[in-house]
């Protein structure tokens, strides 16, 4: 049996176990299969192009980190005794997918490019949301300030790594705004989608860049 077939069987076995846990123990265990093994499975079935050795290594690491994030979310929701609704399922399923994608980008791309993806994409989406919500107004200007601050800290941290402390500070400020509602699934997802790129950009800034710039 080839290594590819072994990986496929192990992935399918993991999914079956997770589905059994979802049915027999708690419905939140469904997130153990959501996104973590999606792309490896698609590659094993030949739907996606296979990765080279380095990319497989990074893919495996990002999958493990996504799995850890998923388990933490599952345990958090079980501990709060929250009941999973249909809307919550389709929203929170994004957490492992986003985690895997963000971690893979951070490890695969050079430092500057990774930070650009993390910060610029987040800020563009945030500013677009603010503009659509309030139009051109004083409220838009005020609510845009956090996004602009994140962008400034992100750009400066590419040259001076200690500006990453500003990114961590912004993540802390955002946390203070979400802390009262973070126990509910949808606010938790929104909080995660906003803060995870900021925190990962800060971490990536402090790391040595071993990725080729080519």
Place of tokens 């958090």: 76
Where a domain ends, among 108, 129, 147?
108
Do residues 168 and 202 touch, judged by C-beta distance below 8 A?
yes
pLDDT score at 94 = 74
Question: Of all helices (H) and strands (E), which one includes residue 172?
Answer: helix 164-178
Residues 133 and 208 in one domain: yes
- Report how far apart, in Å, the C-alpha atoms of 61 and of each of 15, 30, 66, 84, 181 are: 19, 21, 9, 28, 31
CB atoms within 10 A of CB 54: 11
Where a domain ends, among 81, 108, 135?
108
| Residues in the chain, pLDDT under 70 | 1-52, 56, 82, 84-92, 209-214
Residues 181 and 203 in one domain: yes
The contacts of residue 50 (CB under 8 Å, 6+ apart) are 43
pLDDT score at 168 = 93
Residues 204 and 131 in one domain: yes
Query: Which token pair is 58?
Result: 């990074």
Residues 151 and 198 in one domain: yes
What is the C-alpha to C-alpha distance for residues 146 and 117, in angstroms, rounded to an integer?
Answer: 18
pLDDT score at 1 = 47
Where a domain ends, among 78, 108, 138?
108
Residues 96 and 20 in one domain: yes
pLDDT score at 49 = 58
DSSP calls for the chain: --HHHHHHHHHHHHHHHHHHHHHHT-GGGGGGTSSTTHHHHHHHTTSSPPP-HHHHHHHHHHHHHHHHHHHHHHHHHHHHTPPPPHHHHHHHTHHHHHHHHHHHHHHHS-HHHHHIIIIIHHHHHHHHHHHHHH-SSHHHHHHHHHHHHHHHHHHHHTTSGGGHHHHHHHHHHHHHHHTTTTTSHHHHHHHHHHHHHHHHHHHHHHS---S---
Residues 149 and 75 in one domain: no
Do residues 28 and 84 touch, judged by C-beta distance below 8 A?
yes
Residues 5 and 78 in one domain: yes
Residues 120 and 100 in one domain: no
pTM of the model as a whole: 0.68
User: Which residue range(s) make up the domain with 89?
Assistant: 1-108
Residues 22 and 75 in one domain: yes
DSSP code for 163: G
pLDDT score at 130 = 83
Query: Which token pair is 137?
Result: 């107004």
pLDDT score at 17 = 63
């Amino acid at each position: 049996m080839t290594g590819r077939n072994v990986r496929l069987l192990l992935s399918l076995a993991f999914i079956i176990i997770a589905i059994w846990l979802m049915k027999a123990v708690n419905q939140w265990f469904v997130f153990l299969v959501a996104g973590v093994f999606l792309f490896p499975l698609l590659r094993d079935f030949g739907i996606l192009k296979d990765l080279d050795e380095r990319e497989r290594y990074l893919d495996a690491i990002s999958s493990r980190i996504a799995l850890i994030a998923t388990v933490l979310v599952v345990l958090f929701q079980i501990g709060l005794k929250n009941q999973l609704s249909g809307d919550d399922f389709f929203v929170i399923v994004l957490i492992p997918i986003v985690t895997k994608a963000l971690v893979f980008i951070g490890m695969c791309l050079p430092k500057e490019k990774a930070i650009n993806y993390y910060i610029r994409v987040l800020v563009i989406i945030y500013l677009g949301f603010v503009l659509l919500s309030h139009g051109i107004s004083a409220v838009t200007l005020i609510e845009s300030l956090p996004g602009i601050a994140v962008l400034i800290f992100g750009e400066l941290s590419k040259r001076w790594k200690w500006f990453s402390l500003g990114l961590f500070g912004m993540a802390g400020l955002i946390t203070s705004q979400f802390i009262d509602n973070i126990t509910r699934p949808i606010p938790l997802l929104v909080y995660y989608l906003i803060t995870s790129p900021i925190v990962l950009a800060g971490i990536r800034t402090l790391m040595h860049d071993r990725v080729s710039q080519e």
